Amino acid sequence: MVPFAEPPRTVQSIALDAMGGDLGVSPLIEGAIQAVLHDGAAVVVVGGPAARQCLDDHSSEQGHLLVRQARAAGRLQFVDAADVVTMEDRPAAAVRRKKHSSMRVACDLVEAGQAAAVVSVGNSGAMMANASFVFGRLPRVVRPAIGTVLPSFAPHKRTLLVDAGANSSCEPLHLAQFGVLGSVYLEQAFGQSRPAVAVLSNGEEEHKGTPLTRAALALLKRTDLHVVGFCEGRDLNEGRVHVVVTDGFTGNVVLKAAEGVFSFMGRVIKETFEQGSVVDKLGGLLSKPGWARIKAELDPREFGAAPLLGLRRPAFIAHGRSDAHAVRCALRAARRFVDHDVSAHMAVAIERNAAVWTS
Amino acid sequence: MVPFAEPPRTVQSIALDAMGGDLGVSPLIEGAIQAVLHDGAAVVVVGGPAARQCLDDHSSEQGHLLVRQARAAGRLQFVDAADVVTMEDRPAAAVRRKKHSSMRVACDLVEAGQAAAVVSVGNSGAMMANASFVFGRLPRVVRPAIGTVLPSFAPHKRTLLVDAGANSSCEPLHLAQFGVLGSVYLEQAFGQSRPAVAVLSNGEEEHKGTPLTRAALALLKRTDLHVVGFCEGRDLNEGRVHVVVTDGFTGNVVLKAAEGVFSFMGRVIKETFEQGSVVDKLGGLLSKPGWARIKAELDPREFGAAPLLGLRRPAFIAHGRSDAHAVRCALRAARRFVDHDVSAHMAVAIERNAAVWTS
């Protein structure tokens, strides 16, 4: 069935790069423990002495019998790594010069069959470079991309933005393949059948856009995807389109602008109700349960883990400021990818549309 | 002082294209009347029979003695136009084939010295094309652009995004000139001294971005502007940067994505408090004064009128769904542009940096 000859895997551990996060090793270790204890995950933590110390501290704490049991049962392992990729490292240099980084070792574990997927909260460019180097691309895939899930109005529907930042310059073929990869991810990992695929543009009319977007749309129409045409920035949260393809420059700028508006609104709301009149403060107080529900619904941690699409092995990146819950969510997303064998389905879909890539 | 030979104008009327808005002629006429009665503006309304009828209805209503007086005093005039540019018209075709459209007639009035600036809520591409055709560009300006003001945290500071959609493909020189035009607009119309100019990119480091953004930044650094480097999508509302230059494709996508997030957040908040528990509803009720202040502070109508930067005459476009207050705000923005002679200051600044454009 799958056109690339990977043996079926029985290992379901997720390799977690415990270094390079903005908040230090604690949230990584705590997230791994939560995933193991509460989600039945198996995690291989890869890191330096600080990570090992943190894991040991958690294991020796009173009441953490369960952590010790998990370690004894091999569901929570630790692998040493001598080096760390920092946010300052250029991607290519990280691959060339830091062959013993936790990021690289975590990828190597997956390639060697000792883990089924890798998750990192570190330098996302370096992670893309390392994962691409170690795993390689799926056959016929020209450029792997980052997929980012956005909150949406449509119940039980997600909108996936691809590419969210891996490739700052793209060609039409890349964007068309992003559409295939994104569709398969939503179909297989989230059960969304026939996702609506659109090219992000500056207007819905077909004469809008750039030479890139128009050529990408023409190519997409030749695939077997459910292609709806161009969409605009305002469609990202509407739930009308499900896979939005764009170049990584535009994707990154749009995502960060959306994050900026969320945080701007949050700050304005907070200041208004905290610094206002007694009525404001009371209103703010009584609104708290509602706000808690909104926050839970829009929790970026639930959406935060982004798959690297188009590689032979599952790899996820999460936000550098991920807390323990975000790390747990990222591990869950990686497991879903593994459980549904998304890589193999992507390979099939890319192959099924081979005529589009070769013409 | 000014390097282009326009005689100083004494006419301070604003020509208002009353056709082509999504909400019909009423908000246009009402906005014009508000501007005349409450802001001391002089407005020339340009439109078809429906617009004339609407204006006559307002003049004949009981209590609208003031409107009749304004008309008699020439502060509220009407000029007939036989044609209308629709949202479906392609820009070039609108210029070529609709020479008697209200949009074109309004531009012609400015060029003929019968009005000092033009405002339209119609098809923005067609308005850019008509205004460019009728007014021409300032000397040395290669591409006129749309500037859009964004709400910001910094008190009394605005952030201007240029280009917000006029040019879907740009060259480095265009972006560098957008920086000059945007700086002058903020300095002259809003008194913001030495605005911080940045190029929108996918990271702050200088190796990030595309060949376009890197070359644009290099050019900008040769100007006499206060250039701070690259900025990211999340900086748009932070107030740290004041003029954000980008190509019109990215600008349009980012703006619409930000609008989408605002409306998404608004809908989620509304549904949460209206469909929730009694506490939610009470909290929602008591929060109303706070929300009203937030809405007023972030009112897109106050920010909504976008100048076309780089033309010889002042031209503004406002949102197609502008209501009367938005139209009044747009007329006010146009007047501010005229009062501060922004076009002349732009010409001077472009000329002062001539070495950058000619190398």
The three-state (H, E, C) secondary structure of chain A, written as one string: CCCCCCCCCCCCCEEEECCCCCCCCHHHHHHHHHHHHHHCCCEEEEECHHHHHHHHHHHHCCCCHHHHHHHHCCCEEEEECCECCCCCCCHHHHHHHCCCEHHHHHHHHHHCCCCCEEEECCCHHHHHHHHHHHHCECCCCCCCEEEEEECCCCCCCCEEEECCCCCCCCCHHHHHHHHHHHHHHHHHHHCCCCCEEEEECCCCCCCCCCHHHHHHHHHHCCCCCEEEEEECHHHHHCCCCCEEECCHHHHHHHHHHHHHHHHHHHHHHHHHHHCCCHHHHHHHHHCHHHHHHHHHHHCHHHHCCEEEECECCCEEECCCCCCHHHHHHHHHHHHHHHHCCHHHHHHHHHHHCHHHHHC
State the fold for domain B10-141+310-340: Isopropylmalate Dehydrogenase (3.40.718)
How many beta carbons lie within 10 A of that of residue B88, not counting itself? Answer: 10
Inter-chain CB proximity B261 and A256 less than 8 Å: no
- By the CB < 8 Å criterion, does B289 face chain A? yes
> What one-letter code names the amino acid at B106?
A
Asked if B65 has any chain A CB less than 8 Å from its own CB, the reply is no
Place of tokens 């109005």: A153
Tokens of B259: 């609008």
Res A160: pLDDT = 95
Query: Shortest CB distance from A168 goes to which of B209, B290, B297?
Result: B209
Tens place of pLDDT per residue across chain B (359 aa): 444 445 445 568 999 999 989 999 999 999 999 999 999 999 999 999 999 999 999 888 766 888 898 998 899 999 999 999 998 899 999 999 999 999 999 999 999 999 999 999 999 999 999 999 999 999 999 999 999 998 776 666 789 999 999 999 999 999 999 999 999 999 999 999 999 999 999 988 888 899 999 999 999 999 999 999 999 998 998 888 999 999 999 999 999 998 888 777 777 777 777 777 777 777 777 777 777 777 776 666 666 689 999 999 999 999 888 999 999 999 999 999 999 999 999 999 999 999 999 97
B341 neighbors B188 (Cβ within 8 angstroms): yes
Euclidean distance between CA atoms B170 and B250, whole angstroms: 10
Give the A:B interface size as CB pairs under 8 Å: 188
Using an 8 Å Cβ cutoff, are A271 and B298 in contact?
A: no
Tell me what pLDDT residue B10 has. Answer: 59
pLDDT attached to residue A224: 97
Q: Are B318 and B127 in contact (CB under 8 A)?
A: no
CA angle at B347 for the pair B345 and B349, rounded to the nearest 5°: 70
- C-beta atoms of B207 and A165 within 8 A: no
Tokens standing for B224?
Answer: 């006499």
| Whether the Cβ atoms of residue A247 and residue A162 lie closer than 8 Å to each other | no
Helical (H) or strand (E) element with B279: helix B278-286
Q: Name the amino acid, one letter, at B16.
A: L
B124 contacts on A by Cβ (under 8 Å): none
Q: Please report how many Cα atoms fall inside a 13 Å half-sphere around the Cα of residue B283, on the Cβ side.
A: 21
Q: Contact, A310 vs A138, CB < 8 A?
A: yes
Q: Are B235 and B152 in contact (CB under 8 A)?
A: no
| Predicted local confidence at residue B274, as pLDDT | 74
Nearest to B301 by CA among B282, B329, B276, B273: B329
Sheet architecture: strand order including B226-231: B76-80, B43-47, B14-17, B117-120, B315-317, B306-309, B145-150, B159-162, B243-245, B196-200, B226-231
Q: Taking every pair of C-alpha atoms in chain B, what is the biggest distance, in angstroms?
A: 68
The total of other beta-carbon atoms located within 10 Å of residue B203's CB is 18
The answer to whether the peptide bond before residue A163 is cis (omega within 30 degrees of 0) is yes
Q: Round to whole Å and give the CA distance between B218 and A231.
A: 33
User: Which chain A residues are closer than 8 Å to B285 by Cβ?
Assistant: 283
List all residues of chain A from 253 to 282 with a beta carbon under 8 Å from chain B: 253-265, 267-269, 272-273, 276-277, 279-280, 282
B10-141+310-340 and B145-300 share one CATH topology? Answer: yes
3-state SS class at B21: coil
Which two structure tokens, joined as six digits, stand for B161?
A: 């995004």
Is A256 within 8 Å of B238 when comparing Cβ atoms? Answer: no
Instruction: Name residues of chain A where pLDDT drops below 50.
Output: 1-5, 7-8
H/E run at residue B283: helix B278-286
pLDDT at B128: 95
Chain B interface, mutation test: which of A264, A274, A295, most B Cβ atoms within 10 Å? A264
Mutate one of A234, A235, A263, A294 to test the B interface: name it (highest B CB count within 10 A): A234
What residue segments make up the domains of chain B, in order of their start? Answer: 10-141+310-340, 145-300
Cα(B333)–Cα(B320) distance, rounded to whole angstroms? 16
The answer to whether the Cβ–Cβ distance between A258 and B257 falls below 8 Å is yes
Residue B254 and residue A255: Cβ atoms within 8 Å? no
For A144-161, the pLDDT digits (tens) are 999 999 877 666 678 999
Contact indicator for B331, B41 with CB cutoff of 8 Å: yes
- How confident is the model at residue A9, as a pLDDT? 52
Residue A298 buriedness (CB in 10 A; 0-12 / 13-18 / 19+): middle
d(CA A84, CA A304): 22
Mutate to test the interface with B, among A236, A241, A256 (most CBs of B within 10 A): A256
Q: Give strand pairing partners of B316.
A: B119, B307
Q: What whole-number distance in Å separates Cα of residue A264 and Cα of residue A272?
A: 12
CATH architecture of the domain covering B145-300: 3-Layer(aba) Sandwich (3.40)
Residues A248-261 have pLDDT tens digits of 999 999 999 988 88
Q: What is the pLDDT of residue A300?
A: 65
Residues with Cβ within 8 Å of A277's Cβ and at least 6 positions away in sequence, in order, are B289
At residue B319, the 3 state secondary structure works out as coil
Asked if B269's CB is within 8 angstroms of A297's CB, the reply is no
C-alpha distances in Å from residue B226, one per residue of B81, B125, B241, B242, B309: 44, 30, 10, 10, 19
A143-299 architecture in CATH? Answer: 3-Layer(aba) Sandwich (3.40)
At B308, which helix (H) or strand (E)? Answer: strand B306-309
Spatial CA neighbour of A28 closest among A11, A49, A47, A56: A47
Residue A8 pLDDT: 47
Give the separation between CA A331 and CA A336, rounded to whole angstroms: 9
Q: In what helix (H) or strand (E) does residue B133 lie, and over which residues does it extend? A: helix B124-135
Give just the sign of the alpha carbon dihedral B304, B309, B311, B314: positive
Report the relative pairing of strands B226-231 and B306-309 from DSSP bridges. unpaired
Q: Which chain B residues contact residue A153 at CB under 8 A?
A: 264, 267
Q: Give residue A143's identity as a one-letter amino acid code.
A: R
Say if CB A339 and CB A11 are below 8 A apart. no
Strand, coil or helix: what is B159?
strand
Instruction: Give the CATH H-level superfamily of domain A1-141+310-341.
Output: Isopropylmalate Dehydrogenase (3.40.718.10)
Q: Are strands A315-317 and B315-317 parallel, antiparallel or unpaired?
A: unpaired
- Taking residue B74's Cβ as centre, other Cβ atoms within 10 Å add up to 10
The complex scores an ipTM of: 0.85
User: A148 near A126, Cβ under 8 Å?
Assistant: no
Q: Which pLDDT does position A11 carry in this prediction?
A: 63
Query: What's at A240, amino acid-wise?
Result: R
In 3-state terms, what secondary structure has residue B256?
helix
**Contact between B240 and B211 (Cβ < 8 Å):** no
Contact A153 B264 (CB under 8 A): yes
